[in-house]
Amino acid sequence: MLHAQTFLFLIGGIILCSAEEKTSTEWWRNNFIYQIYPLSFKDSTGDGVGDLNGITSKLEHIADIGASALWISPIYVSPMVDFGYDITNFTDIDPVFGNLDDFSKLVTKAKSLGLKVLLDFVPNHSSDKCSWFTKSIQKIKPYDEYYIWKDAKIVNGTRQPPNNWLGAFQGSAWEWNEQRQQYYYHAFAVGQPDLNYRNPQLNEEMKNVLRFWLNRGVDGFRVDAIHYLIEDSRFLDEPKIANTGLPDTDAGTLEHIYTCNQKTTYDIVKTWRDVLDASPGPKKVFLTEAYTSIDYLMEYYKYGSNLPMNFMFMEDLRANSTALEFKYKIDRYLNRIPNGQSANWVVGNHDKFRVATRFGPKRADQLTMIATILPGVAIIYNGDEIGMENNIISWEETVDPAGCNAGPERYNTTSRDPARTPFQWDDTVSAGFSTNTKTWLPIHPNYKTLNLAAQKLAPASHYKVLKKLSALKKYPAVKDGSTEIIVVGYNVLGIVRRLPGKSHVVLLINFNDSMTVVDAASWMNIPDKMNVYTASVHSNIQLSSYKTENMMHITSLHSKMLRTSVLLCLFTAVIWCSAAPNPSEEWWRDSFIYQIYPLSFKDSNGDGVGDLNGITSKLEHIADIGASALWLSPIYVSPMVDFGYDITNFTDIDPVFGNLADFSKLVTKAKSLGLKVLLDFVPNHSSDKCSWFTKSIQKIKPYDEYYIWKDAKIVNGTRQPPNNWLSAFQGSAWEWNDQRKQYYYHAFAAGQPDLNYRNSQLNEEMKNALRFWLNRGVDGFRIDTIPNLIEDSRFLDEPKIPNTGLPDTDSGTLEHIYTYNQNETYDILKTWRAVLDSYNGTKKMFLTEAYTTLAYQMRYYEYGSNIPFNFMFMGELNNRSSAVQFKRTIDRYLDAIPAGQSANWVTGNHDQGRVASRFGLKRADQLSMMAAVLPGVGIIYNGDEIGMVNRPMSYKETLDPAGCNAGPSRYNTTSRDPQRTPFQWDSTTSAGFSTNTKTWLPINPNYKTLNLAAEKLASVSHYSIFKKLVTLKKLPVISKGTTQIILVGYNVFGVVRRQAGQSPVVLLINFNDVSTLADAASWMNVPDQMKVYVSSIGSNIQIGATVNTNRIILPAAASVILV
């Protein structure tokens, strides 16, 4: 039984690196960096304050725990308003810490111990006592523009700051200077005026500061608060954030769009990088501190930061985070690291609570273990290696300006003093930090038992765990191996590092509050027996062999908050699986998914409407064409206002389609044919006939808040909707309910009220709907219209788009910045992903429908969508697009796919015109060919495999609410009925769809000649082409080969798939309206002769023929695949 701990097993000294191993010029890779807060590390003079000589006397400790470098927080001359972060002289040592000679001794000794020395570089501001600032006040050149000065704003005769910007330490970020008669800007304390980097002379001064310390042996810098470096030059007011619960003086009440993350910041970093690169000797490192979004963080790599600091363990993840949340955050971060760059994991620092306080003492080793086993650099804060905890500091004892300025009511939420108390070396006076009983911050009273000396003597301790971890960081599998992050069973996090020919390393962490049994061997594909290398403190796990199959118990003892972490190491002698890759669990990769629109697929009872038994009777067709899965559009109970997309019961079948027993038969038969079954999940709204909505109208809890209700806006005594939001189906998105006396929001039809995902109980209802169908054998879901899921809670009017040519009632006249693509949508998706991942057996799949930008689309991968639908063939590209437009659009999409994720190609669906209608009959096969040859999943709509076309509809025949609501003059631009007509099986009554001559939508009159039965008999048909494409999709060269997209001469599009030892596969498409001669051999570097595998209908290129690729004639609009 594994108790609540973390552990690793290794054999002898095998974890040490080989003597012949090449040393990287980037010495920091896969190492530990140790942060020292100098005031609190070691006092050598007895004044109660840490200093340089104190640090020097304890350097052996840093070398002993295996760190590669020490990073020293500011030691420059300072009045200590912000304890060293307010600097008067950037090129000298404050007497509190010592002098330059003391610094030289420290560097010399560190180098003798193999330690690199990094300094804090604080470029955003100086002290107001700095001589530069004094001269700037006096307008002495060049210092007059070294700071950010602005004239006052006069309001009603009263002097006001230039704008509403707030300082991080409370209150206005502007301070009036009586002598200069201007305000100066300070992002932090009043005594820390910001430097002006729009002045090149100031930047040259700061580059000279870097050179000064580089010349004294410094190996790099941690750049402080870099995202504050530049401010927007227009000095506009920053937007207020509503309902923060913070006082108006708190910077957290503003959205910092003008004072943080300005693009010019990156250019400044690049100039500093040049200074470091010009310095001789070992490569110098830049760490940049920016509490910012992942997008801004990744930019720093491009401009010279080696380690843009990753604060996920202090910002995104907490003690109550689940294994799945850890997995998602880590995966998202690792997937964004640019090629060739190093990840990093900041375990703790001087600005945040200590690890043992944030996560609990019994989980103190957990983050260090994660930071060790994951690729990249681990950054640890002094004291965390022995599990030091925050000290409780009273208001009277508080010295941190962040706490002092917050006042006695709020200081404990902002003060950083508790995490900065002196290091606990032993149980002597002042914990061995100082001979003085009065120290600059009080010693934690637990020092008698929690100290380094005691941990060295203890049989198990945080200190001993860290020593083993730093040694493991140098192990080959951890340095160079692949990384897999797995949720093992329920709420157990697993990480495996694998390297062929080397031992694997495995980490297991139990996030449950009780003992958990997991089959780690099966989940993680590791041997049944492994050795524990190290275990977290208090686990009582012995460092010996341990079974991983069926009987691995990970338990928590004594405390509900206890978590267990286990690190296992597998050695070469017992590696049995490294010769071949593990089979992928992602069954959908490089396959085709077939969409069924149930109303139109097959009618089994003669009522003219498709149903489940009809689908079941035709499953052989789907298996015959080679699809891997069928996706069913909605089959739930519905009044059919939007034909199934308005749902009254999410866990039952509408009688139109059948019942649950019919559904079970469908699933059983599909599985017997090797087909997966996917359902439409429609979470944005219900029907207004849903019982939830009825109860919401009546304000019956908890349903009262299941929908989005708002009071009317009274304008000139007249009731008006709350804002200008418009429905996708025309007109206001707000409908008045006279019973509740409020408006409800509906993004689509008035009969489809939107659900309120700010209500956790509602989300639990929807998770239960997912569970209901998963328990009935469903393999995944397509999530309908996911960008509409959440609306901005401020309910502001959306901006109007000028000159659209659309009526004012059309939603296309508004820019949907408040009703679409809201950040919280992704968080909701993540909770649903957790539901799917909690199911064993075949991996479950999410497809997400979002007609949105590429950036928003890619984010869905990060939060649990396996296939965020790619609608380029229905949106950006059409029958007028050129070969170069196809190439640019496809390249841009493939380049954006996160590492390890699958692309997808939606060729058609029930909401857009059919392929043969959008692109023309001659190009009907073109998109299927692209979807087959390009990497990823192809998604095809029923009927497109036989080249069905739209059936024109009169307004009287129109049923789709999108068309009906548009009116007789515009219905044909919005109605989706033409592409939803029944499937054309044969030339009998109603195209073989129904025995009834009257069908829910009229049959296309071309069914006599265009039908599946006829295509099966024809020598060449869309059907036979599609079957060959699905077969091609399964070839290794398609599933694993490289992809090149090439323009072959003028307006000929080419794709080459290559794999070593295999013949290439080539797709050529002529986008010209005339026959074109192409030299594919030269342009694409393919063999001179290749065989035609398949060609498009009407091209007259014979399948099986050998062609000369240096002179291949492509008829107008022809597509051909060569092998």
Give the residue numbers annotated as catalytic, written as ranges: 224, 289
Burial of residue 624, with CB atoms counted within 10 A of its CB: 0-12 exposed, 13-18 middle, 19 or more buried: middle
Structure token pair of residue 29: 């890779």
Residues 6+ apart with CB under 8 A from 887: 1045, 1046, 1047, 1053
Tell me the three state secondary structure of residue 532. Answer: strand
- The number of CA neighbours under 13 Å toward the Cβ of 643 is 22
Contact partners, residue 619, CB within 8 Å, separation at least 6:
630, 666, 669, 670, 673, 675
Pairing of strands 629-632, 149-150: unpaired
How many helices and strands in the chain, by DSSP H and E? 33, 47
Neighbouring residues of 973: CB distance < 8 A, sequence distance ≥ 6: 966
Pairwise CA distance, residues 507 & 702, whole Å: 41
User: Helices 854-862 and 883-896 sit at what angle, rounded to 10 degrees?
Assistant: 30
Output phi, psi for 890, to 5 deg.
-70, -45
DSSP letters along 586-640, please?
-TTTT-EEEEE-GGGT--SSSSSS--HHHHHHTHHHHHHHT-SEEEEPP-EE---
Q: Which residues pair with 497 in a beta bridge?
A: 483, 505
Main-chain phi, psi angles of 56, to 5 degrees: -55, -40
Residues 6+ apart with CB under 8 A from 235: 150, 162, 163, 258
- Annotate 177-216 with b (16+ C-beta within 10 A) or e (fewer): beeeebbbbbbbbbbbbbbbbebeebbebbbebbeebbee
Task: For the chain, state the CA radius of gyration.
Answer: 33
Contact 1034, 1040 (CB under 8 A): no
Does residue 419 sit in helix, strand or coil? Answer: helix
Classified as helix, coil or strand, 1031 is: helix
How are beta strands 1106-1108 and 1089-1095 bridged, if at all?
Answer: antiparallel
Which amino acid, residue 488? V
- Give the residues across from 1056 on adjacent strands: 1044, 1066
Q: Exposed e or buried b for every residue in 320-348, given b needs 16+ CB within 10 A?
A: ebbbbbbbbbbbbbbbbbeeebbbbbbbb
Q: Is-contact 870 902, C-beta < 8 A? A: no
Structure tokens at 617: 């009777």
Rounded to whole angstroms, the Cα distance separating 546 from 991 reads 65
What tokens appear for 818 in the block?
A: 């408040």
Q: Return all residues near 158 (Cβ < 8 A) that are at least 6 apart.
A: none
In contact, 373 and 334? CB cutoff 8 Å? no
Nearest to 866 by CA among 890, 885, 839, 848: 848
Q: Residue 487: beta bridge partners?
A: 493
How far is Cα of residue 1048 from the mean position of the Cα atoms in its chain?
Answer: 36
